Amino acid sequence: MRNLMILMIFTTLLLAGCNFDTTSSGGGNSAFLVGVSSLSLNGAPTRITRTGATLFVLSEPYDLVAIDVQDPYFPWAESSTFSEGIALDTNYNITCVIDANGLGLWQIDNDWDMEETAFVSISSATDVDIVGNYAYVSNANLGLQVFDITDPWFPPFEVGDNWGQLDCFRLEVAGSCVYMLHPYGMKILSSTPVTGPIEMGAFTITAPLDVAVRGQYAYIAHEYGLTVVDISDPYHPNSAASYASFDSYNAIAIAGNYAFVCAGSDGIKLFDISDPLSPVLLDTYSTPGAAWDVVTDGVYAYVCCDGSVETLRLDVW
């Protein structure tokens, strides 16, 4: 049944003039992406975030790892601690970790020891994004919750919410909006925490997995490729471009005119998005294990793979 669905979707996209991912993976370095280091970790790294020269990685089954990447060619694990986290985000002094029980605030001391300083119980939390002093949390059973995390030693307290966005599992906060993914599409809400986020618009798409925003466009990675959504009018988002793939695109990070997309066992895809209406696949880099999540500073991309964190350099300058 899944094969029949994929065939029908690809036929529809082909008739619509959609681009297709037909680039084959090569081993090792590629035309635009160069592997510069690989740091082996216990377990399977699944989620990654970055602040300054520090990466924070969730590695299944039970680790939160801090990695120093001041020299991307020689990364090293500063510290690690027990955590059953499923999602995380960080700013300059706080790392928020979502686990099965709720939202925890973590800090690193001068000796690089990690400590959970505060916690609030939340049922069914799935993702978190930090903006300023607020943590935006998606909740599979309730919707969107916003917590004040100004004091990392005090339990976060809720300052705003929007119920009814059921089955939400991933979110991105950009500008004045929150972009929340659910199994059948994306909801757009205002990001004003205190007055209460309100739903503004919605976009329907099958099996979205991650979203990144650049300017007036949202880039949605999904099971069948990449879709670009015009969000200049958040009340009426509409499709601007699509790039179909036989691989499932499960995570995306954007820097400047480039999008780094995780494609599972097919590694990392590099897209030129200088023209959002016509994304161009520049390259595919074969990671040593399936690629699950990625962050980038524009020059280097840090990729969660099975068993390691890979550092890739963008060679287009």
Residue 26 is classified by DSSP as B
Strand order in 134-139's β-sheet?
Answer: 125-131, 134-139, 143-148, 157-163
Could you read off the pLDDT of 70-79 as tens digits, one per residue?
999 999 999 8
Q: How many domains are contained in the chain?
A: 1
Percentage of the chain beyond pLDDT 90 is: 77
Task: Please tell me the predicted confidence (pLDDT) of residue 166.
Answer: 76
Residue 34 has pLDDT above 80, yes or no: yes
- Domain, as residue range, for 139: 2-314
What one-character-per-residue DSSP string does 248-307 give?
Answer: ---EEEEETTEEEEE-BTT-EEEEE-SSTTS-EEEEEE--SS-EEEEEE-SSEEEEEETT
At 251-302, the pLDDT tens digits run: 999 999 999 999 999 999 999 999 999 999 999 999 999 999 999 999 999 9
> What confidence score (pLDDT) does residue 21 get?
44
Average pLDDT of the residues of the chain:
89
Residue 23 sits in a domain whose CATH number is: 2.130.10.10
Q: CA–CA distance from 57 to each of 44, 51, 77, 234, 247 (Å)? A: 10, 12, 10, 32, 24
Q: What are phi and psi of 151, to 5 degrees?
A: -105, 105
Give the pLDDT of residue 317: 60
pTM of the model: 0.90
Question: What tokens were used for 208?
Answer: 């979205």
Whether residue 215 contacts residue 177, with contact meaning beta carbons closer than 8 Å, is answered with no
Say how many residues make up the chain.
317
Digit-coded pLDDT (tens) for 238-248: 999 999 999 99
- Which amino acid belongs to residue 129? D
- Average pLDDT over every residue of 161-173: 89
